[in-house]
A and B are shown apart, each in its own frame.
Chain A
Amino acid sequence: DQQVKQNSPSLSVQEGRISILNCDYTNSMFDYFLWYKKYPAEGPTFLISISSIKDKNEDGRFTVFLNKSAKHLSLHIVPSQPGDSAVYFCAAPSGSARQLTFGSGTQLTVLP
């Protein structure tokens, strides 16, 4: 049972345009969500997070939106840059040790 789902394995966007990466979840107990970015041959790195008490969090070019009623969150990158090309994972912590449940990832390719 996938509790966090990323249904788009890949996304290609032109440089300068907006990238929108989507994530759905099934567990209503999740109260915090994170996005991680992963380059090849490296570990994931934290990008941005959002608490369930908010519906938007912004950090520079990156904005995450949360729609609790739809159990859906999205990451917007504006403007997209070639250096943003990476795999993006959404994740939610659960359990007593805050272990993360990950989506399967979306490969973003930003074309110059």
Chain B
Amino acid sequence: NAGVTQTPKFRILKIGQSMTLQCTQDMNHNYMYWYRQDPGMGLKLIYYSVGAGITDKGEVPNGYNVSRSTTEDFPLRLELAAPSQTSVYFCASEGGEQYFGPGTRLTVT
């Protein structure tokens, strides 16, 4: 059981570039989430999904998109990256409690 895996671990983007953060879980959880964590702050919810084909916005969705074509995968897409999106991104899945991936550290310059 790998749990929740995220790729890449680190990425530097130029302003205006796009990228997809990958997230996969092997626990057959229906609920999945994307959070971002800025320095000195708690985690804020970007998007979540309650099952394949169903997604919804969280607290800070602007500048992001998601899809959920399978139970296992929940990629997060950044279009037109901006410096304000510099953050650490965590994916999680829920099965009684939330299990988090190791995070992706993204810098936009």
Contacts and interface: CB of A to CB of B under 8 A. Distances in A.
A9 B102 CA distance: 22
Given A42-B103, A97-B31, A89 B50 contact: no
A44 B100 contact: yes
Interface residues of B, number: 25
Contacts of B50: 96-97
Given A43-B90, A99-B48, A89 B42 contact: yes
A102 B42 contact: yes
Contact of A100 (B4, B56, B98): B98
A99 B45 contact: yes
B31 A43 contact: no
Given A99-B33, A99-B58, A45 B41 contact: no
Contact of A102 (B4, B31, B43, B97): B43
A89 B41 CA distance: 10
A42 B4 CA distance: 12
Interface of A: 4, 6, 9, 34, 36, 41-46, 49, 89, 91, 96-105
5 A-B pairs closest in CB distance: A43-B100, A102-B42, A46-B97, A102-B43, A104-B42
Interface of B: 4, 31, 33, 35, 40-45, 48-50, 56, 58, 90, 92, 94, 97-103
8 contacts: A4-B42, A36-B100, A41-B103, A44-B100, A97-B31, A100-B43, A100-B98, A105-B41
